[in-house]
Amino acid sequence: KTAAIVGCPFSGGQPKPGVDKGPIHLVEAGLISQLESLGWNVKFEGHHQFEDIKTNDDPPIGILKNPRLVSRVTESVARVVGEHVKKGELAVTLGGDHSLAMGTISGTLSTHPEACVVWVDAHADINTIESTESGNIHGMPVSFLLGLGNKVPEFSWVKPLLKPENLVYIGLRDVDAGEKALLRDNKIKAFSMHEVDRYGIGRVVEMALDHVNPNRDRPIHLSFDVDALDPTVAPSTGTPVRGGLTFREGHFICEAIYETGLLVALDLMEVNPSLEDEASVKQTVAVGCSLLRSGLGETLL
C-alpha cells in the first residue's frame, strides 16, 4: 500500500503568514519514516512549488483576497491529488490553509464521484462570495465544491462534484450566520461540539458515517483542520476557537475512519508554525503527525 505525500506550502487563502511552512515542519518532524514504520510505501516528490502571481495582477474580486492565486494553486492541487488517487495511492495532503481542500476534494471526486467527505473543523468553511465577511477563501472551499452562490468566473474550473448528502461535519463551533443558513437550506448533516458532548465521539463518528456511508461501501475523503482540536491541544493555528475536540477525540476520528478501510484521501490543514511559542509549535506539529499516523493505521494496542 502506497501513500503519496502532497506537501502544499500555501497560505493565500488566509492573511496570517506561516501556514505555508506547515508541510515542511510536518516532514521535518519525521512524518515519512513514521508512516514507513506503519508499513506504508511512502511517495514524496518534495513539496509542491506554487508559482506566486504578483498581488497587483490579482486584485480582490468583491472582497475575496488572492482569488486568481488561490484558484490556480487549488486547480494544480486537484490535478496532483487526482493523479495519486487514480493510481490507488492514498493521497495525504499537508497544508497549508484549508482553501486547498477545494483542490484535494475535487481531485478525489474526479476519480471517485461517489466518495463521501468527512470535514473535521471548528468552522464550516462554506461561505459564498455573498456571505463571506472576511474574504478569506479558506472559509469558502465547501461552497465552491457544492456549487453554491453566484459563480466566480476565476473559479470556473471547480465543478460542483460534491453533493450535500455526501458531506458531513464533525467539531463545528464557530459557524457564521450566513453559513448556518446555508447548512440548513442544503440539509447538510453536522455534528457540532454540542453533539460530541451529548453522544460522545464514538456515536458521533458512527452516525456521521451512517449518514454519508450507510453500507460502508464508499470511498472516504477526510479533510481535517487542526483547529477542530481545542487550542490547548493544537495552539499553533490561524483561527483557534475554544471548546474543541480533545487529543483523544481527534485521534478517535482518524482511527475509526482508518478502520473502515475506505479512506482514499486525507488532508491535514492549518498548522501554522509561526504562531505561538516554540513549545506550542512543536506540540501542534507533533499532534499533526500523530493524527496522520492514526489515519494511516497506527493503533494503541
Q: Give the separation between CA 272 and CA 288, rounded to whole angstroms.
A: 11
Exactly one of 21, 72, 98, 251 binds ligand 1EE (CB under 6 A); that residue is 98
Q: Give the separation between CA 253 and CA 138, rounded to whole angstroms.
A: 22
Give whichever of 106 and 127 is closer to ligand 1EE, judged by the CB atom: 127
Active site residue 197: no
* Strands 189-192 and 167-172, sheet pairing: parallel
Is 230 among the residues that bind ligand 1EE (CB under 6 A)? no
Active site residue 277: no
Catalytic pick among 58, 97, 121, 195: 121
Catalytic pick among 179, 195, 230, 270: 270
Exactly one of 74, 104, 110, 127 binds ligand 1EE (CB under 6 A); that residue is 127
Quick one: cell of 94? 499537508
Is 20 among the residues that bind ligand 1EE (CB under 6 A)? no
Cα-to-chain-centroid distance, residue 75? 15
Nearest to 26 by CA among 15, 16, 14, 34: 34
Give whichever of 47 and 98 is closer to Mn ion, judged by the CB atom: 98
| Minimum separation from the CB atom of position 144 to ligand 1EE (A) | 13
Active site residue 47: no
474526479: which residue's cell?
A: 110
Active site residue 25: no
- Decide which of ligand 1EE, Mn ion, none touches 45; Cβ closer than 5 to 8 Å per partner kind: Mn ion
* Cα separation values, 190 from 47, 120, 147, 269, Å: 33, 10, 19, 19
Count how many Cα atoms sit within 13 Å of the Cα of residue 181 in the half-sphere of its side chain: 10
- Decide which of ligand 1EE, Mn ion, none touches 127; Cβ closer than 5 to 8 Å per partner kind: ligand 1EE
465521539: which residue's cell?
A: 201
Active site residue 98: yes
> Active-site residue numbers?
98, 121, 123, 125, 138, 225, 227, 270
Residues in the site for Mn ion, rule: CB under 5 A?
45, 98, 121-123, 125, 225, 227
